Amino acid sequence: MSGATAARHTLRIALPAGALFEEACSLLAAAGVARVDPRRLDRHLLAVDGDTTLVRVRPTDVPVYVEMGACDAGIVGKDVLWESSRDCYELLDLDFGGCRLVLAAPEGSPLAEGRWPQPLRAATKYPVSARRFFDSVGVAAELIKLHGSVELAPAVGLADAVVDITATGATLRANHLVEIAEAGRSTARLIVNQASLKTRSAAVTRLAAALRGVVAGGAARQPLGA
Amino acid sequence: MSVLQGPTRGRAGGFSDWVGPAAERRREVTDAFLDTFAAWGYEYIATPLVEPLETVAAGIGGGRQADLFRFMDGDGSLLALVGERTVSVARVVAGQLQGGRFPLRLSYAGPVLFNRPPLGGRRREAMQAGCELIGHAGLEADAECVAVAAAALEAGGLPGVQIDVGHADFIPSLLAAARLDAGSRARVAAALRHRDLVAVEEALEGSEAGAAEKELLLAFPTLRGDRDLLDRAGAQLTDPEPHRVLAELGRLWDLLAAHGITERVHLDLGAVRDWDYYTGPTFELFSADLGFPLGSGGRYDRLLGAFGLEAPATGVVLHVDRCCDALLRSSGENGRRPLLRLGHAPGREREALAAAARLRAAGVAVASELTPTPDGGGAEGAAEAPPPTSPGGSAHAVGPGAASRSARVDSTGTLRWRWHPHSGTGLEGLLAAAAGEGGR
């Protein structure tokens, strides 16, 4: 290795705040990559363990940190990658954080009874995926991009339906929405910066192999400090 | 009124101004690249910023036209701002230079533009410098392009850049040898293009692909190593086509060894490049300080055919702005060419200007004080007049060592100077002090 490629020794990994965060931390601990108490990262956003630096960022920002090379690798839901136009390597399905992107409509609505209104107005936080879905089923839908509480939109007449992520279906049921169709299935993924894969290939390959071992082995993942 | 409500006087998103030391460095890096290309016998050519859309599309492919700034000519034909410059060089060669003596060695530098959404950190205008070796089909030409790129980066202040060498035919030859049905093959190829190993696994799962090919495709991000990699990969494969590719890379490795650069070279059989455009060895240049390649290149034997001249070609492009980013990351500063401020007493303009001319001819950057100043205290003090401030009030003369380089012609006509850590009188001594640290 040349001098220039040895400039930064530590591997930086971006972790998504929110639903996937604790499991991502325990996966890294189980794989022997880094042991970090998630509660500590909650407060400090950045933690160092040995040769590994972990940062906690918003899920949608994980691909940004990785594409720009601020982090070598990241853990992020496939649902975020669907929406992102960032260019990274996607190396591994980490097989946790499972959820589905679905089209859902109010109980008793025409859509729930199989009649698709034309035009169909759908509220979503996932406009890129929703557009792909509607294109694939040949429906000319009008998309309304929202940033949260999408389930509310049909109740107040903003939209006929929602395209949203669901894990258990509880939020849909609580808002009297029924699933019409599934647009995609998502799990957490390991993504890697294109240059890091080349300039830190040994460290990146070790990281991917260690995570693959835990995922394939289904080893028990106890959150640190639990 | 809040500044957020004021008129926007900003630039268009994704475009940068270059000022101060960063601007100087960008120019110096561009010059270092072009000077290196010239030293290897590459002749500089300049091509337009605007090309017919169909010319540009011949290079980047129809699918990526949406990435270009496009507009209409007076007669209704479509034009584009160039998104890369190799296609312009190919057009020139096929037109004006086809009667010339091949192989042709040509170099260029200039901005390229991308009409992508200006997401944070992504530039829409970038300076590129590159060279093309046209009319030679041998691996010697590919090796020369790799070597000239390495030399150019070194001249630009980036020694020890990692060079990844791949081959545009390797992954396609694996896909062919794997005997996949058309549907699976298209899915695997698409997944590879997206650098999505998870999707490659899904597409290969349960397919009839040969075990050895499957294993190599699944390992595509890690098919990296030195010359031994070729034997390890080859041992698993039976089809002649992948073996032809591996043998070519072996010969290329030996040629790179003759250039003395193999310690920086990694073979990367899984390199994801535009396999429709490239037709032979490909390469990418990386610095550990940056998340993007500093440059890339490869053999593109089909491009000139689009302009009616069948000729093999290979070349490299260096991303000047990314190189500047990498230099800034590794050194923490943009550097500044030392500047000598030269003042003079009233009536001594002629002596001061003559001294400035001599110094500039010797490679010392000299800024003349435009207003004469009366003699002050001692010789040292006289040479250290406070740096003038610009009308805006900010001192542009700051920078490492900037204030410690000054000279002045006093009322007796004597040149008194201070060139840190030396000081003295007379032009010859000043020239010697400047030469002592390389002049600049």
CATH number at residue A144: 3.40.190.10
Q: CB–CB of A8 and B288 under 8 A?
A: yes
**Residue A14 sits in the same domain as residue A118:** no
Q: CB–CB of A195 and B290 under 8 A?
A: yes
pLDDT tens digit sequence for B376-397? 643 344 444 444 444 433 334 4
Number of domains in chain B: 3
**B334 pLDDT band (50/70/90 cuts)?**
low
Residue B368: give the domain boundaries.
339-385+401-436
The alpha carbons of chain B give a radius of gyration, in whole angstroms, of 28
Is residue A114 in a domain? yes
For residues B80 and B317, give the distance between their C-alpha atoms in angstroms, rounded to a whole number. Answer: 20
Residue A191: give the domain boundaries.
4-97+187-217
**Residue A166 sits in the same domain as residue A200:** no
pLDDT of res. A80? 96
The reply to whether omega before A110 is within 30° of 0 (cis) is no
pLDDT of res. A5? 37
Is residue B164 in a domain? no
Of A7, A189, A194, the CB nearest to B198: A189
| Mean pLDDT, residues B333-357 | 87
Of A6, A89, A196, the CB nearest to B195: A89
**Residue A91 sits in the same domain as residue A134:** no
**Residue A90 sits in the same domain as residue A121:** no
**Residue B418 sits in the same domain as residue B343:** yes
Is residue B91 in a domain? yes
Is residue A199 in a domain? yes
Is residue A48 in a domain? yes
**Residue A198 sits in the same domain as residue A93:** yes
Give the CA count within 13 Å in the CB-facing half-sphere of B222. Answer: 17
Q: Which residues contact B217 (CB under 8 A, 6 or more apart)?
A: B171, B174, B175, B178, B188, B192, B200, B204, B209
**Residue B44 sits in the same domain as residue B152:** yes
Q: Which one of B201, B218, B289, B327 makes the best mutation probe of the A interface by having the most chain A beta carbons within 10 Å?
A: B289
More confident residue, B306 or B404: B306
Q: CB–CB of A2 and B264 under 8 A?
A: yes
**Residue A122 sits in the same domain as residue A206:** no
More confident residue, B120 or B438: B120
Q: CB–CB of A85 and B119 under 8 A?
A: yes
pLDDT of res. B135? 95
> How deeply is B82 buried, as exposed, middle or buried, from its count of CB atoms within 10 A (0-12, 13-18, 19+)?
buried
pLDDT of residue A3 exceeding 50: no
Percent of chain B with pLDDT over 70: 89
The length of chain A in residues reads 226
Please tell me which residue of chain B has the smallest CA distance to A71. B291
Q: CB–CB of A195 and B198 under 8 A?
A: no
- The enclosing domain of B112 has a CATH number of 3.30.930.10
Using alpha carbons, select from B15, B12, B14, B95 the residue that is nearest to residue B47.
B95
pLDDT tens digit sequence for A177-191? 999 999 999 999 999
Q: CB–CB of B287 and A189 under 8 A?
A: no
Q: CB–CB of B286 and A199 under 8 A?
A: yes
* Averaged pLDDT of chain B: 87
Order the strands of the B365-368 sheet from edge to edge. B365-368, B339-344, B405-409, B415-419, B422-425
Retrieve residue B415's tokens: 């040149």
Out of A172-176, A222-226, B7-11, B118-122, give the one with best mean pLDDT.
A172-176
Residue B402's SS3 state is: helix
Is residue B69 in a domain? yes
pLDDT of res. B228? 92
**CA-based nearest distance A201→chain B, Å:** 7
Domain boundary, last residue among B303, B318, B336:
B336
Is residue B281 in a domain? no
Q: CB–CB of B284 and A198 under 8 A?
A: yes
**Residue A156 sits in the same domain as residue A180:** yes
Using alpha carbons, select from B196, B413, B280, B394 the residue that is nearest to residue A89.
B196
Q: CB–CB of B289 and A4 under 8 A?
A: yes
**B161 pLDDT band (50/70/90 cuts)?**
very high
A201 in B contact zone (CB under 8 Å): yes
**Residue A41 sits in the same domain as residue A52:** yes
Beta carbons of B37 and B25 less than 8 angstroms apart: no
User: In Å, what is the CA distance from B267 to each residue of B10, B102, B366?
Assistant: 44, 29, 48
For residues B8 and B188, give the distance between their C-alpha atoms in angstroms, rounded to a whole number. Answer: 47
* Cα dihedral sign, B205-B206-B210-B211: positive
Retrieve residue A123's tokens: 């509220």
**Residue B50 sits in the same domain as residue B137:** yes
Q: CB–CB of A92 and B162 under 8 A?
A: no
Task: Please tell me the least confidently modeled range out of A31-45, B126-140, B242-256.
Answer: A31-45
Residue A120's SS3 state is: strand
Is residue A173 in a domain? yes
Q: Which one of B205, B229, B292 makes the best mutation probe of the A interface by having the most chain A beta carbons within 10 Å?
A: B292
pLDDT of residue B413 exceeding 70: yes
**Residue B32 sits in the same domain as residue B124:** yes
Residue B372's SS3 state is: coil
Chain A, chain B: beta-carbon pairs less than 8 Å apart: 92
**Residue B31 sits in the same domain as residue B152:** yes
**Residue B193 sits in the same domain as residue B93:** no
Distance in Å from the first CA to the final CA of chain A: 41
| Mean pLDDT, residues B406-429 | 92
For residues B24 and B32, give the distance between their C-alpha atoms in angstroms, rounded to a whole number. Answer: 12
- The enclosing domain of B405 has a CATH number of 3.40.50.800
**CA-based nearest distance A175→chain B, Å:** 34
Q: What is the ipTM of this complex?
A: 0.80
Distance in Å from the first CA to the final CA of chain B: 48
pLDDT tens digit sequence for A40-69? 777 778 888 888 999 999 999 999 999 999
Please tell me which residue of chain B has the smallest CA distance to A186. B198
Interface of A with B in 64-123 (CB under 8 A): 64, 66-70, 85-93
Of B161, B198, B292, the CB nearest to A93: B198
Residue A49: how many other CB atoms lie within 10 Å:
15
Beta carbons of A51 and A8 less than 8 angstroms apart: no
pLDDT tens digit sequence for A108-144? 998 888 888 888 999 999 999 999 999 999 888 999 9
Nearest-5° Cα angle at B246, B241 to B249:
130
Task: Please tell me the least confidently modeled range out of A172-186, B57-71, B339-353.
Answer: B57-71
Is residue B4 in a domain? no
Q: Which one of A197, A205, A215 makes the best mutation probe of the B interface by having the most chain B beta carbons within 10 Å?
A: A197
Is residue B77 in a domain? yes
Using alpha carbons, select from A126, A174, A132 the residue that is nearest to residue A148.
A126
**CA-based nearest distance B329→chain A, Å:** 10
pLDDT of res. B125? 94
**Residue B145 sits in the same domain as residue B27:** yes
**CA-based nearest distance B44→chain A, Å:** 30
**CA-based nearest distance A179→chain B, Å:** 26
- What are the DSSP calls for A64-84, one per residue? HHHHTTSSSEEEEEHHHHHH-
Amino acid, single-letter form, for residue B414: T
Q: CB–CB of B291 and A67 under 8 A?
A: yes
**Residue A12 sits in the same domain as residue A80:** yes
Beta carbons of B52 and B68 less than 8 angstroms apart: no
For residues B193 and A49, give the distance between their C-alpha atoms in angstroms, rounded to a whole number. Answer: 34
**CA-based nearest distance B330→chain A, Å:** 8
Tell how strand B125-134 and strand B104-113 pair up. Answer: antiparallel
For residues A199 and A211, give the distance between their C-alpha atoms in angstroms, rounded to a whole number. Answer: 20
Q: CB–CB of B288 and A5 under 8 A?
A: yes
Number of domains in chain A: 2
Residues of B in contact with A184 (CB under 8 A): none
Of B195, B263, B288, the CB nearest to A90: B195
More confident residue, B400 or B276: B276
Q: CB–CB of B288 and A6 under 8 A?
A: yes
pLDDT tens digit sequence for B18-55? 988 889 899 999 999 999 999 999 999 999 999 999 89
Retrieve residue B235's tokens: 């041992």
Q: CB–CB of A198 and B162 under 8 A?
A: yes
Is residue B113 in a domain? yes
Q: CB–CB of A2 and B263 under 8 A?
A: yes
User: Tokens 């030195």 identify what position?
Assistant: B226
Please tell me which residue of chain B has the smallest CA distance to A3. B160
For residues B94 and A97, give the distance between their C-alpha atoms in angstroms, rounded to a whole number. Answer: 55
The length of chain B in residues reads 440
pLDDT tens digit sequence for B92-148? 999 888 887 889 999 999 999 998 877 667 889 999 999 999 999 999 999 999 999
Is residue A224 in a domain? no
Residue B158: how many other CB atoms lie within 10 Å:
25
Using alpha carbons, select from B420, B402, B326, B408 the residue that is nearest to residue B20.
B402
**Residue B50 sits in the same domain as residue B108:** yes
The reply to whether omega before B7 is within 30° of 0 (cis) is no
Is residue B392 in a domain? no
**Residue A207 sits in the same domain as residue A178:** no
pLDDT of res. B333? 67
**Residue A129 sits in the same domain as residue A86:** no
Beta carbons of B101 and B115 less than 8 angstroms apart: no
Percent of chain A with pLDDT over 70: 92
Chain B residues with CB under 8 Å of a chain A CB are 117, 119-121, 158-162, 164, 194-199, 201, 221-222, 224, 263-264, 266, 268, 284, 286-293, 330
**Residue B193 sits in the same domain as residue B226:** yes
**Residue B200 sits in the same domain as residue B221:** yes
**A99 pLDDT band (50/70/90 cuts)?**
very high
pLDDT of residue A2 exceeding 90: no
> How deeply is B183 buried, as exposed, middle or buried, from its count of CB atoms within 10 A (0-12, 13-18, 19+)?
exposed
Q: Which one of A1, A2, A96 makes the best mutation probe of the B interface by having the most chain B beta carbons within 10 Å?
A: A2
**Residue B37 sits in the same domain as residue B140:** yes
